[in-house]
Amino acid sequence: MVKRVLLIEDEPNIIEAVRYILTREGWAVDTHANGATALDAVARRRPDVIVLDAMLPNRSGFDILRDLRADAGLAAIPVLMLTARGQRADREMAERLGADRFMTKPFANAEVLACLRDLAGLGAG
């Protein structure tokens, strides 16, 4: 079964890198770049996993994560926070708000893939 990921990211280079890594492994990848409408995109697409940037136009990834976890219909979707903001306070905030994993940019392709496989329940594959 094909797993679907929603990448909520506004940096074109990161979008292309993550899309390449995942599509090569058989994932279906949807992308969304606007923080203000990200929650609607999640509700519409119902991904198996979300990759969420902390710094987005119009709304932060932390705010989006807070709203995801407060929505009974979306709260169970695993979230990987993938961000350039690697300070301890950012990591702690992501964990407090319910992120399943936290990874900083730059990232190792294999690490992202392994993390998403784990979050989607695919094992080491």
DSSP 4-45: EEEEE---HHHHHHHHHHHHHTT-EEEEE--GGGHHHHHHHH
Q: With bands split at pLDDT 50, 70 and 90, how would you rate the model's confidence at 124?
A: low
* CA neighbours closer than 13 Å in the CB half-sphere of residue 97: 24
Comparing CA positions, the residue from 87, 79, 30, 32 lying closest to residue 57 is 32
Tell whether the model's pLDDT for residue 1 goes beyond 80: no
- For residue 66, give both structure tokens: 């807070």
CATH class of residue range 4-119: alpha beta
Mean pLDDT of 33-60: 96
Tell whether the model's pLDDT for residue 13 goes beyond 70: yes
pLDDT of residue 122: 84
Contacts of 88 (CB under 8 A, 6+ apart): none
Domain ranges of the chain: 4-119
